[in-house]
Chain A
Amino acid sequence: MELPRLETLWQTYRDKGLSVVAVEANRDRDRARKFITEKNLTFHLLENDKKEDVVGEKFKVDSFPTSMLIDRDGKIMYYHVGFQKGDEAELEREILELRGQ
């Protein structure tokens, strides 16, 4: 259940230079929609295109969740697979560090 936690991060830093973009693997569209409505998610939510397969082909993602932080020049400064206790704090620390640059 990491997406509701992303919503918290987004609400905290949306006016301070943070964008949040979540791409769903598009394996179960109905469940994804239901989840988004139930959890009241308001950041950018995109669906994978099965033909083009941005998730699998382009980004080679096969474990979920996979998250990355991109700086203003487009560089991937942080890359993380999975979501465990403590990851949220690490993510917030990394965001603050990148904003500070």
Chain B
Amino acid sequence: MVKRFLVILAVSAFVLSGCGNEQSRKAEEAYQKAVETRRGLDSPEEKLAVTKKFLDEFPESDHTAGMLSAAVYYQGEQLGDTAGAVAYAETIRNQVDAPEIERAVDKEMVYLYGEFGMLPKMLAVADRLSTAGALGFDDHWNIIGSAIKAHNWVLAREYCEKARELVNPESYRADNPDSKLTNEEVQQAVRNREGMLLVKDAWARANQGEIDAALADFAKADGLVERSYIDTPAHGLDVYWGEVLLLKGEYQSAETKLATAGLVTRNEDALAGLKKAYVGMRGSDSGFDVYAAELHRSVAKTVDDFELSDYEGERHRLSKLRNDVTLLAFWFPT
């Protein structure tokens, strides 16, 4: 959810309302002020108060969905008040009438209900959106994620199937009307969508007992999804794949899939899976820590060097700045 929220912040900085009337100008001003104020605050309680103050004053604006997403993030995720976050979102939802804003808020509600395990409510809103022809790929993706989290494999597969209808350039362009991507980039995005769905569908399938079919789909997805800098495939493919290989008793292959996720990104499921693979091969977990430390070093990628300027214009090479341990962080100001 954090990642999603950061993306919203980044995007909302560029999306300014073009409406000319007085009320929307006031809303825009209040929004800019709220975001600026929030930036200077550190505690989620204070950030939540600023966000809610804006929403209470302007429940219907171009920023309703984005600010609601932020409010839910502070109250539900950071402060742990799930019930309060849902109740608040519903009161805002009830004050919205304009169809376009209503749809944007409903998309948030799909995500929110799903994230907090309220699947019947999630599906009711999804049906409403679907009837209006407004259920995009991301909404399907959110529903699939929530279904998997709830171990509802049938629902997950149903929405993978529905989302497959959106795996084409036209649907991708329709979901991203403002993007200026080239045909080639759109093709890449479409391949990625195909891979995303294969990963989740295969995982649901494996949980329904179709192990071999799932393994075949993981292999197919491996050629489609994006890879990170440290070469892990996106959407948890390596972890799912490794766990299914464990079920088949293919311990060596499972180890290969789980090593980077378990040891470098510290994914707990992957680490537990690595231990299972070790026990499967050797009969006990004795010596696991030494083995894990060696495996960790052998799979760790060597960092590429680069040279960039600091804010005074002075050039620096990473290799010259490094120490016994180097923390390299990529950020942008929110």
**A contact residues vs B (CB 8 Å cutoff):** 1-3, 6, 9-10, 13, 17-28, 31-36, 44-49, 52, 54-55, 58-61, 63-85, 90-91, 94-95, 98-99
Chain B interface mostly: mixed
List residues of chain B with CB within 8 A of the CB of A10.
Answer: 327
List residues of chain B with CB within 8 A of the CB of A18.
Answer: 323-327
**B contact residues vs A (CB 8 Å cutoff):** 2-3, 6-7, 10, 13, 42, 78, 226-230, 264-266, 296-297, 300-304, 306, 308-311, 316, 318-319, 321-333
Q: 4 extra interchain contacts, Cβ-Cβ under 8 A, other than A19-B322, A69-B326, A72-B325?
A: A64-B332, A66-B330, A67-B328, A70-B322
**Nearest residue in A to B313 (C-beta to C-beta)?**
A47
Number of A-B contacts (CB under 8 A): 180
Known: A64-B6, A77-B296. A23 touches B308 (CB 8 A): yes
**Nearest residue in B to A35 (C-beta to C-beta)?**
B333
B184 to chain A, nearest CB (A): 16
- What are 27 contact pairs spanning A and B, CB under 8 A? A2-B331, A6-B329, A19-B327, A21-B329, A23-B328, A27-B10, A31-B333, A33-B311, A35-B333, A45-B311, A46-B316, A58-B304, A59-B330, A60-B227, A60-B229, A63-B6, A65-B331, A66-B329, A67-B328, A67-B330, A68-B327, A70-B322, A71-B324, A75-B302, A76-B300, A76-B302, A81-B3
Known: A31-B333, A65-B329. A58 touches B321 (CB 8 A): no
List residues of chain A with CB within 8 A of the CB of B227.
Answer: 60
Interchain CA distance A15-B331 in the complex, whole Å:
24
A76 touches B230 (CB 8 A): yes
B333 touches A32 (CB 8 A): yes
A78 touches B264 (CB 8 A): yes
